Amino acid sequence: MDLGDTADITGVLAAAINAQTGTTYTVVAGDKGKLVTLSNGSSVAVTQPQATGSFTTGYSVTLANKGAGVVTITPTTSTIDGQSSVVLNQYESITLVSDGTNYSSSRGKMGLSLTTTGSSGAASLTGTVLNIPQYSGGGGNGDWLSTLLNTEVSITTTATATISKQHVCSGTSYTVTLPAASGNGGKFLALRITATGLITVDGNGSETIDGALTRVMWAGESCMLYCDGSNWFKTAGKTIPMICVMYRNTDSINSVNGAITNAGINTTTVDNTGLMANTGSNKMTIKRAGYYIHAGKLVMSNSSTIIGNAQVLVQNASTIVAAGIASLLSSSNGFFTISTAPALLAAAADDITINYIHDAAGGSTAPVIIGGAAYTSLSLTEVPTW
């Protein structure tokens, strides 16, 4: 201790107090070892001289804010714990110790103000401000139940999705490519579809989405995709089955002996995608590969024997890839119904038709194919698998 210091009878140093009530104060060499109190209802600016000369190694001073006004301590040239200034709120205090270049501090009651930053990483303390990064790990900025901190990324044409973002895909038909899986392990992205066409979601290069290179989505569907660093997996979302129902609206005699005759479905009852029914060509076209439940009904009338087969035919271009067949042999007059209802595995662009194959053997004549929604018709319902 300095020779000029005094102690009470217990040997404890009696701290000298320098009470300040103004809005500015410059610490002086004589404040060494003292408690400088600052009390004002307005902000107080305190200047702490450079940590050299009279304020060199071993110099210390304690400052305490007793007033309602904020006290800002700013050293000349030197720093306090690496900072250019320190703020004291009411009833907070700080002891500054010089090392001959800068000041270190020992703090009494201190209040912290919390802020969040938009990036990931470690929290940091700047003066009395604790910066806490927003979480941006696997799920993006914020948890799944929180309001999005970032506006949805709008996609209207061919594009690459952004990791850790929610996307809305509008417009018509195009491809959205996923980011490269490498380096994105543990992260998510999401897509929701409002487009009037089909959106093809494509893994980057040979990367897959639940084992497939691409996935096709349409309006109203959504998906949340998780990346394991190599491929992508759907963890949540909504898939809407594609459904199409068509029928022939008029009666017709159009069968040819031994030939496949299209029953001529030309009216749409249901086409929830607006993309499958082709009334001009009397067929349905598969838009998304997968399993489909189909039911075909062919109603015919004749005054003599009817011999033949009804079939639901699946063609890709001119190649027949599948057929559900039901045979009919009748010598009675009246109406005859042939129904088929097997499941089928179809590829995108496959065409589905209902047909009749007439057999003229035994005097059978070409029957009338009866039109109407309750008679000659075909329905197709997708079995969702993704």
Q: Which range marks the domain in which residue 264 is found?
A: 243-383
Model confidence at 93: pLDDT above 80:
yes
Query: What band does 165 get if pLDDT is binned at 50, 70 and 90?
Result: very high
Q: Where a domain ends, among 217, 238, 259?
A: 238
Q: Where a domain ends, among 203, 238, 273?
A: 238
Are the CB atoms for 234 and 386 separated by under 8 Å?
yes
Instruction: Kindly state whether residues 266 and 320 are assigned to the same domain.
Output: yes
Domain-embedded: residue 289: yes
Distance CA 295, CA 56 (A): 95
Instruction: Kindly state whether residues 373 and 251 are assigned to the same domain.
Output: yes
Instruction: Kindly state whether residues 201 and 184 are assigned to the same domain.
Output: yes
147 DSSP assignment: P
Domain-embedded: residue 233: yes
Instruction: Kindly state whether residues 375 and 269 are assigned to the same domain.
Output: yes
Domain containing 316 — which CATH number? 2.60.120.40
Domain-embedded: residue 147: no
**pTM exceeding 0.85:** no
Domain-embedded: residue 72: yes
Question: What are the pLDDT digits (tens) for 242-295?
Answer: 999 999 999 886 666 667 788 899 999 999 999 999 999 999 999 999 999 888
**Residue 365 burial by Cβ neighbours in a 10 Å radius (0-12, 13-18, 19+):** middle
Instruction: Kindly state whether residues 234 and 267 are assigned to the same domain.
Output: no
Domain-embedded: residue 309: yes
Instruction: Kindly state whether residues 252 and 184 are assigned to the same domain.
Output: no
* Number of domains the chain contains: 3
Instruction: Kindly state whether residues 181 and 281 are assigned to the same domain.
Output: no
Question: What are the pLDDT digits (tens) for 34-46?
Answer: 999 999 999 999 9
Domain containing 196 — which CATH number? 2.60.120.1230
Question: What are the pLDDT digits (tens) for 370-382?
Answer: 889 888 898 999 9
User: Across 203-282, where does the E strand assignment appear?
Assistant: 214-217, 222-227, 232-238, 243-247, 260-262, 267-271, 277-278
Distance CA 354, CA 45 (A): 90
Q: Where a domain ends, among 238, 264, 294?
A: 238
Instruction: Kindly state whether residues 320 and 347 are assigned to the same domain.
Output: yes
Q: How far is CA 114 from its chain centroid?
A: 29
Instruction: Kindly state whether residues 66 and 51 are assigned to the same domain.
Output: yes
Model confidence at 333: pLDDT above 60:
no
Domain-embedded: residue 218: yes
DSSP sequence for 176-218: EEPPPSTT-TT-EEEEEE--SS-EEEE-STT--BTTBSEEEE-
Q: Hey, CA dihedral for 204, 206, 207, 209, is it positive or negative?
A: positive
Question: What are the pLDDT digits (tens) for 185-212?
Answer: 999 999 999 999 999 999 999 999 999 9
Domain-embedded: residue 119: no
Domain-embedded: residue 89: yes
